[in-house]
Chain A
Amino acid sequence: MAWFRKDKKPLKAEDRRDVPTDVFDKCKGCGEILYRERLAQNLNVCPTCGYHLRIGAHAYISILMDAGSFEEFDADLRAADPLGFSDLKDYPTRIAAAEAKGKNEGLLSGTGTLEGIDVVLAVMDFDFIGGSMGSVVGEKIARAGLVALKKKIPFMIVSASGGARMQEGIYSLMQMAKTSTVLARIHDEGLPFISILTHPTTGGVTASYAMLGDVNLAEPGALIGFAGPRVIEETIKQELPQGFQRAEFLQEHGMVDRVVDRRELKAMVGTILRHQFAGWSD
């Protein structure tokens, strides 16, 4: 039995008393109070109900890549303000505020190994301006894809996005075309592309690379759609059915290949890549 499947008993009521606030989290799924350290060991999946808490780009890298194998590239690309955009705040101020939180422009990319298989991995970060796709996200994905093409190795993207970065206007829209163009070349070269959709993946990201995997995998409960639920409700003037646009709904409707528990994600991707491309060593 894998370490992460070890029996974990739910916390008893007496354990919860007088717990300092910085060492526990409340599960958004079942309301259970969970020790943060224990939760992290469980990859931020609630041991009681299986709810997948949102995690950052670095966490996905440590989950998916073999320890110490990941080498980031293009870390120095930062957002520009090509349109001189200003709404209630100007765009450079928004960028500076997001950068001050120490986040890397919405996406981390690099090479590493997954169960010994060389891959290029790009992971979106929802915490940077809602994981919105601007020029930097598009450029980093394009460059990462070109590295996969050059090295002839598989490409993987973990998506989490609210959609287009409106402050970059048409540049933002065109990143959908740019990334899809690179994926076309990867496809023609016979290289695997695995798309992993996490909560939430919406808008232009869903309508470009996130849906273009040879295999699309989604985390349980992830919201995945083109239009956001609120926009749809406003358009059709009715409430959306329970579970609409959730990962399970997408599998049922044929849009994702599998809903995969985060704790099984790496092993699943490894198996798929060996079937498709890397072969078996035994």
Chain B
Amino acid sequence: MHLDFERDIVEIQEQIDKLLDLADRRGIDVSDEVTVLRSKLQDLKEKTYANLTPMEQVQVARHSQRPYTLDYVARVFTDWVELHGDRGYRDDEAIVGGWARLGGRSVMIIGQQKGRDMKENLRRNFGMPHPEGYRKALRLMQQAEKFGRPVISFIDTPGAYPGLGSEERGIGEAIAFNLREMSRLKVPIVSVVIGEGMSGGALGIGVTDRILMLEHSIYSVISPEGCAAILWRSAEHKEKAANALKLTAKDLHAIGICDEIVPEPRGGAHEDWDAAADVLQEALDRTVSELEKLTVKKLLAQRWAKYEAIGAWRDS
């Protein structure tokens, strides 16, 4: 699968494949031509991915071949033990959680999980959690607190699910309660946006000491489509909305909301899951190590100061 702005990249890739096929069938040496094309391909990928428009970033962030939470869990951590359920209603598979090991220490992992195919997506509700998902996440975070272990939260959701059951069981309350409790959790918490972080549904597992963002991930108060539908009165204006919302990792790093951009392999994380995981592992291990040095008092004071400073207004 390729995205529309990748047309030139795909064309070169096809030329390479044709040449290799030709070489295979006729025994011709095409190595010089292939070398030239491969270098051209790499240059083009680099150039394309360094200059994505905000809406193109949105497409990459939602790429169906992009690694999801459990793909990183398998590559970044060891000794993974998934834990299920909120102990109140059911297990919401749009959020996964459990113990794992990172750099010799145990950590609690929380993450929104999209499905890879239709069958899995029905089970995981396309990564859109219900209240019980947020309550499971909090239960596990409080378990981490009990044992003095750090929490790592993977953000990747189109939003909390807007449905009947979701509202009946208090999606607003579930998210609100997580915000309050995460802000007073007495262990280090780090979040990393790996794909799309949309609205309160993302923030519900996102009140953390550090916010990392993968290079091509996005974080926003509303999707560009939703914003365009309301403010431009048509979802067709999504590109304008994507520009205006300042939702890319680069934009959010520039205004200090994102603490660190985690670089992705050339052409995006979907091109090389292992390489993307390696870079993320280093960033997470380093970030958690820094936070572990702080006393609980200092940790909380820093967390509060971080959030209390966010905003822009005029005094007049």
A residues sitting closer than 8 Å to B (CB atoms) are: 76-83, 85-88, 135-136, 138-139, 142, 164, 166-178, 180-185, 187-188, 203-204, 206-212, 224-227, 231-232, 235-236, 240-241, 244-245, 253-255
Q: Which residue of A lies closest to B202 (CB)?
A: A173
20 interchain pairs (CB within 8 A)?
A87-B232, A139-B311, A164-B199, A164-B222, A169-B246, A173-B203, A174-B311, A175-B311, A177-B307, A180-B179, A182-B308, A184-B180, A206-B176, A207-B204, A212-B177, A227-B163, A235-B163, A240-B164, A253-B168, A253-B169
Q: How far is the CA of A188 from the CA of B180 in the complex (A)?
A: 11
The answer to whether A244 and B167 touch across the interface, beta carbons within 8 angstroms, is yes
Q: Which residue of B lies closest to A180 (CB)?
A: B179
The answer to whether A227 and B220 touch across the interface, beta carbons within 8 angstroms, is no
Asked if B33 lies at the interface with its beta carbon under 8 angstroms from chain A, I say no
The answer to whether A226 and B172 touch across the interface, beta carbons within 8 angstroms, is yes
Please pick, from A175, A187, A245, the residue contacting B167 in the complex, using a CB distance under 8 A. A245
The answer to whether B167 and A226 touch across the interface, beta carbons within 8 angstroms, is yes
Least distance between A144 CB and chain B CB atoms (Å): 13
Please pick, from B164, B172, B231, the residue contacting A88 in the complex, using a CB distance under 8 A. B231
What number of residue pairs across chains A and B have CB atoms under 8 A from each other?
Answer: 192
The answer to whether B176 and A188 touch across the interface, beta carbons within 8 angstroms, is no
Contacts of B180 in A (CB 8 A): 180-181, 183-184, 187, 212
The answer to whether A170 and B220 touch across the interface, beta carbons within 8 angstroms, is yes
Contacts of A255 in B (CB 8 A): 170, 172-173
Least distance between A109 CB and chain B CB atoms (Å): 14
The answer to whether B304 and A185 touch across the interface, beta carbons within 8 angstroms, is yes
Tell me the chain B residues, 197-223 only, with Cβ under 8 Å from chain A. Answer: 199-200, 203-204, 206-207, 219-222
Q: How far is the CA of A171 from the CA of B219 in the complex (A)?
A: 11
Least distance between A140 CB and chain B CB atoms (Å): 9
Least distance between B174 CB and chain A CB atoms (Å): 8
Counting chain A CB atoms within 10 Å of each CB, the highest count among B175, B240, B316 belongs to B175
| Bitwise interface map of B from 159 to 201 toward A, beta carbon under 8 Å scored 1, else 0 | 0111110111111110111011101100000000000000110
Counting chain B CB atoms within 10 Å of each CB, the highest count among A85, A176, A177, A188 belongs to A177
Contacts of B164 in A (CB 8 A): 232, 236, 240-241, 244
